Amino acid sequence: MKIALINENSQASKNELIFSVLNKVAKKYGDEVYNFGMYKDDDKHSLTYVKAGLLAGILLNAKVVDFVITGCGTGQGAMLALNSFPGVICGHITDPSDAFMFREINDGNAASFPFAKGFGWGAELDLENMFDKLLSTRGGNGYPKERVIPEKQNKQILDNVKNITYKEMTQILKEIDQNFLKETINYEYFKEIFFKNCKNKEIKIYLNNLLNNE
């Protein structure tokens, strides 16, 4: 599984710690982590939690990655931003049981963490436990055992509802503020990983044209 880590500006200073812990757990399960930043507080390329949502929507819909790890101070803003986009099911994770049940019951493809709230001594241990529960399952198996069938049915219903209520991602990219879009994706790491791994031809062509038309 390919995993994207996205840190918004208020928690950029924690990127190195979060990436280190996430990468450790991901290697345990044979997964690969791409670190899309922000990497430090004074990065020239700044990401708000809204931009993190847009970036996650692009990466998931273009099938550049299979899963996104993100967050903000409370984790709530980032979760809302990611869930604004089609093809994204983002959970708010505060403990290991949240992580496990979100994957097993909701079969999501993104998780948002509170990287400021309660982030003190032992934070890296808490993160490791949550990441481990999140990645220990490939998701969608249902939980608990006696609820497996209805939970899987509910997930399918949710997917069908989202297909009706959300616009297609390429249309969103065309209608969203183009300066905002360009500000979000115009940095070297994104361009390197995106264009190498993008599996959605329409999104790839549109973003390539956007970035090359000054």
User: Where do the structural domains in the chain lie, given as residue ranges?
Assistant: 2-212
pTM of the model: 0.96
Q: What are phi and psi of 95, to 5 degrees?
A: -155, 170
Q: Does residue 183 carry a pLDDT above 80?
A: yes
Instruction: Specify the CATH class of 2-212 in words.
Output: alpha beta
pLDDT at 214 exceeding the cut of 80: no
> Which residue in 164, 59, 46 sits closest to 68, CA to CA?
59
Calculate mean pLDDT across residues 160-164: 94
| The pLDDT of residue 18 | 98
Q: What is the largest CA-CA distance in the chain?
A: 57
| Closest residue by Cα to residue 154 from 143, 138, 168, 166 | 143
- CA gap 63, 99 in Å, rounded: 22
Say how far apart CA 90 and CA 110 lie, in whole Å: 4
pLDDT digits (tens, 9 = 90+) for 98-150: 999 999 999 999 999 999 998 999 999 999 999 999 999 988 999 998 999 99
For residue 213, name the pLDDT band (cuts at 50, 70, 90).
Answer: confident
Spatial separation of the C-alpha atoms in residues 92 and 90, rounded to whole Å: 7
Which residue type does 210 have? Answer: L
Residue 35, both tokens: 């670190």
3-class DSSP state of 72: strand
pLDDT one-digit tens code per residue, 42-96: 999 999 999 999 999 999 999 999 999 999 999 999 999 999 999 999 999 999 9
Dihedral pair phi/psi, residue 150, rounded to 5°: -65, -35
* Other Cβ atoms within 10 Å of 161 Cβ, number: 10
- Model confidence over 32-49: pLDDT tens digits? 999 999 999 999 999 999
What is d(CA 207, CA 214) in angstroms, rounded to the nearest whole number?
A: 12
* Span 151-162, average pLDDT: 93
Q: In 3D, which of 115, 105, 83 has the Cα closest to residue 5?
A: 115
Name the residue with higher pLDDT: 97 or 138: 97
Report the alpha-carbon distance of residue 114 to residue 111 in Å, rounded: 10
